[in-house]
Amino acid sequence: MKFNKKFIFLIFAIFVLITASIGCNFNLEDIGISSQKGGVTTSGEVDILRSKLSAYESQESLENLELQKLREEIERIKNQNIPVNGNIAVIRIFGILDQEDVLPIASQLRRLTEDREVGGVVLWIDSPGGGVSAVTEIYDEVNRLSLRKPVVAYVGGVAASGGYYLAVASDKIVVKPDAILGSIGVIYVHEDLTEYFKMFGIKIEVIKTGEDKDLGAPWRPLSNDDRENIKNMINEDFDRFVYVVSKGRNLPIEDILKYSDGNVWSGTQAVSYKLADRVGTLDTAIEELKVSAGLKNPKVSFFQIADDGSVSNMSYEYMRYQYAPSIRIQKK
């Protein structure tokens, strides 16, 4: 029992000694107590400093987070307050072009030409071409528009034959890498159904005022004179096509003739041949037009001209997800 009392008394004495040392600001290192600061201080002061440091660090982190949010909000408000300094119209022309498409497309292009609030037009082309007369009529309207306002053509799917014919009327052509362009040429197809009519006993009687009045009709074969006549017509259309591409792309006719075999190319190839300007997306074409038109914050409107001639003002999101490429790959 005495041994236990002595032991307890010894423990108590050590405790008093340590407490006295702390109260007198002794160096804790002298009695074997380590201080992270390494200086003459008390454990109480160390705890206070640590708590303050922790509080400061938390406050600093909180302040940094709040400042970052504030900066983002200020930037968002600044961007919202930039005044709209013009309009950009994105007009999509798609499908096979025929005479029924001329009036709705031409009238829409003419309206955009006269609209003073429209600073430029993105011509979104997705067409394999069509009739010669229909394409040249629409080309004249695109050319008329480009003389008054910047026009950038965008090809996301197909701009072949007459579709490419329209694209070269623009100031620049932006294409997706997997788009299809080209097919510079003219084609005429004649169907001789005389044997078919004989097989089914179909008799056709033609009353005409001239020998060539039914030129190209399927109920009779082509004569040598017919072929020569048709060849002269398509060669004339072909010469005009080559000239239009040469003029639009600012390239010598000799260079265009190298690519005028009716072949098509990918968007990347078309750019390498200088038959298009840049690989990109629809947004790339819009950015190109913003630079050309000198517009920093334009309002962008989207128009689609359907095959039935109706014109609808559509949102960007709707057009993105309803759009489908015109290329079909059939496995044999």
pLDDT digits 0-9 by tens, 216-233? 888 999 999 999 999 999
180-182/118-127 β-pairing: unpaired
- The angle formed by the CA atoms of residues 264, 169 and 176, to the nearest 5 degrees, is 45
The DSSP 8-state label assigned to residue 278 in this structure reads E
Low-confidence ranges of the chain (pLDDT < 50): 2, 21-41, 314-332
Contact between 40 and 25 (Cβ < 8 Å)? yes
What secondary structure, in 3-state letters, does 53-81 show? HHHHHHHHHHHHHHHHHHHHHHHHHHHHC
| Spatial distance between the Cα atoms of 63 and 307, rounded to a whole number of angstroms | 59
Give the pLDDT of residue 31.
Answer: 42
Distances from the Cα of 153 to the Cα of 14, 175, 206, 316, 323, angstroms:
91, 8, 46, 17, 17
Residue spans of alpha helices (H) in the chain: 2-23, 43-80, 99-114, 132-146, 162-167, 194-199, 224-249, 253-258, 267-272, 282-293, 316-322
Give the pLDDT of residue 72.
Answer: 72
Residue-level length of the chain: 332
| Spatial distance between the Cα atoms of 284 and 174, rounded to a whole number of angstroms | 7
Query: In a 3-state reduction of DSSP, which class is residue 183?
Result: coil
Nearest to 164 by CA among 254, 252, 246: 246
- The pLDDT tens digits of the residues spanning 42-85 come to 556 666 666 666 666 666 666 677 767 777 766 666 565 566 67
Give the pLDDT of residue 121.
Answer: 96
- The pLDDT tens digits of the residues spanning 234-258 come to 999 999 999 999 999 999 999 999 9
Residues noted as catalytic = 161, 213
Largest interatomic CA distance in the chain: 147
